[in-house]
Amino acid sequence: MRHHLLRAGQRNQYLTFSAISGWLLSALFQCAVIMVFMMVGCGTPVVGHANGQPFGMFEVGIYMFSIVIVTVHMEVVQITEQWTVMHHVSIWLSQGAL
Residue 25: the pLDDT is: 94
Q: How many domains does the chain have?
A: 1
Taking the chain (98 residues) in runs of 10, the rounded mean pLDDT of each run is: 65 80 91 88 70 78 88 85 86 76
Strand locations in 1-98, DSSP E? none
CA distance 76 to 70: 10
Residue 83: the pLDDT is: 84
Write the DSSP assignment of 23-35 as a string of letters: HHHHHHHHHHHHH
Nearest to 98 by CA among 77, 79, 71: 71
Residue 56: the pLDDT is: 77
Range of the domain at 25: 3-96
